[in-house]
Amino acid sequence: MIASIVHKTPVVILDKLNRLLNALQTVKDNYEQTALRIRNKQLRISLLGLAQESKQYANELIAHIETLGGKMNDRFKGDFNKMDPSDGQPFVAEGKADLREMNLGEQLLMKAYREVLNEPFLYDNIRRIIRYQQNGLMHCFSQLKILYATIVKTAGTEW
């Protein structure tokens, strides 16, 4: 007789992964909306690239959560692949508010990633994936900051 071994992932781990998933969704939506308001094409493309990367990481995380036994609502999964429509906000000049939004998004995501990585019972393969995602996003954030600083410096305006 073949015995099936059912391995149940601790709820604590699934909760932390779901919180990370929600943070990725929040940042993705925020950066898409910010990109729609920005006039500078390079910065807009960079923000949309970061939103795309967040979406890819979220979809990867959804697959892993489901593999670990977590349940995901189909509507929730579909929301990650949709871009929120514009609020009708016109292009605005880039400024401190946009930079503050980018920094808050970075802080939110890095906090969520650290929280998951600090979980002592996290599976090694999930830990490697989370660490890879975190490093990828940190690289994107640093590129975005450099681009933003370059744009501000070449524009000759003070923020």
Neighbour tally for 31: CB within 10 Å: 24
Find out whether 76 and 59 touch, Cβ atoms under 8 Å: no
Neighbour tally for 4: CB within 10 Å: 4
User: What percent of the chain has pLDDT above 90?
Assistant: 40
Between residues 128 and 105, the one the model is more confident about: 128
Mean pLDDT, residues 63-75 taken together: 82
Q: Tokens standing for 36?
A: 């729609």
> Is it the case that residue 86 has pLDDT exceeding 60?
no
pLDDT of residue 88: 47
Rama region for 156: left / alpha / beta (φ>0; ψ in -120 to 50; rest):
left
Mean pLDDT, residues 76-87 taken together: 56
**11-83+91-154: which CATH architecture?**
Up-down Bundle (1.20)
> Is it the case that residue 77 has pLDDT exceeding 60?
no
pLDDT of residue 85: 54
How far apart are the C-alpha atoms of 17 and 14, rounded to whole Å?
5
How far apart are the C-alpha atoms of 137 and 131, rounded to whole Å?
10
End-to-end CA distance of the chain: 72
pLDDT of residue 22: 93
pLDDT tens digits, residue range 146-158? Answer: 888 888 788 765 4
> Is it the case that residue 36 has pLDDT exceeding 80?
yes
pLDDT of residue 3: 47
> How sure is the predictor about 2, in pLDDT bands with cuts at 50, 70 and 90?
low
Nearest Cα to Cα of residue 55 among 136, 1, 143: 136
How far apart are the C-alpha atoms of 9 and 96, rounded to whole Å?
43
Nearest Cα to Cα of residue 29 among 7, 54, 5, 6: 54
Mean pLDDT, residues 7-24 taken together: 89
> How sure is the predictor about 135, in pLDDT bands with cuts at 50, 70 and 90?
very high
> Is it the case that residue 93 has pLDDT exceeding 60?
no
> Is it the case that residue 4 has pLDDT exceeding 90?
no
pLDDT of residue 153: 81
